[in-house]
Structure 1
Amino acid sequence: MGRTPCCESRQGLKKGPWTPEEDKLLVDYVQANAPGNWRMLPKLAGLNRCGKSCRLRWTNYLRPDIKRGPFTPEEHKSILQLHAIVGNKSVLLLLLLTHFVPLQYTCVSSHVY
């Protein structure tokens, strides 16, 4: 009962590191069509991956609005000020720092501790 597994139904799915070619296929498809249904996306984009893998790859690594690199002095100051207010509640801290993406959770957490 419940949901069907996202990936178990397709045998032979590629696992492991993404290749630059796969990244390009995913980026090109999402930019041209908007993601829509992530479960159907791999087939439509010509990828041999599961939809969840495609969604996570896009969300955490390939989105053009992801900020990369070290924290700026202003970001560092914001993190420390909010930490003084909310304490060690790093999830709440991240929610207040809306311009950070989920992948930066560990970075912010380790930055204040």
Structure 2
Amino acid sequence: MGRPPSSGENGLKKGPWTTEEDEKLMSYIQKHGHGSWRALPQLADLNRCGKSCRLRWTNYLKPDIKRGKFSQEEEQTILQLHTILGNKY
């Protein structure tokens, strides 16, 4: 049972994303939202699987992603919460 593999023999593209693919994904999500990640690649005219689109959006393209070092305040918050919670979460 289970779902068949979503790439490979289905002819879906694997590997690095192109600028054109990034633009298609960003444009589609800005206009329509992401909705169903499984349906999105076909609707956005991308030859990728839904999981690949979701990960690309979440980890690289989402506008509110903060990159770089933690601020001093964030660093203190992390240390304080680690003191309280440990490695539990």
Count residues in correspondence. 89
Q: Could you tell me which runs of 5 or more consecutive residues in structure 1 were left unpaired when the two chains were aligned.
A: 93-113
Structure 1 residues 37 and 21, CA gap change in structure 2 (3 angstroms):
same
More helix by share: 1
Amino acid at match of 1:14: K
Secondary structure of 1:24 counterpart: helix
Aligned to 1:23: 22
Residues 30-74 of structure 1: CA distance to partner in whole angstroms, max 9, x if unpaired?
A: 010011111111111111100111011111211111111110000
Amino acid at match of 1:55: R
Structure 2 contact 34–40 (Cα < 8 Å) conserved: yes
Whole-angstrom CA distance in 2 between matches of 1:30 and 1:10: 27
Structure 1 stretches of at least 4 aligned residues deviating more than 2 Å after TM superposition: none
Q: Could you tell me which runs of 5 or more consecutive residues in structure 2 were left unpaired when the two chains were aligned.
A: none
TM-score by length of 2: 0.89
**How far does residue 5 in structure 1 lie from its aligned partner after superposition?**
3.3
Which of 6-15 and 42-51 deviates more? 6-15
Secondary structure of 2:51 counterpart: helix
Identity within the alignment, %: 65
Structure 2 contact 7–14 (Cα < 8 Å) conserved: no
Aligned to 2:41: 42
Aligned to 2:77: 78
TM-score by length of 1: 0.71
Aligned to 1:7: 6
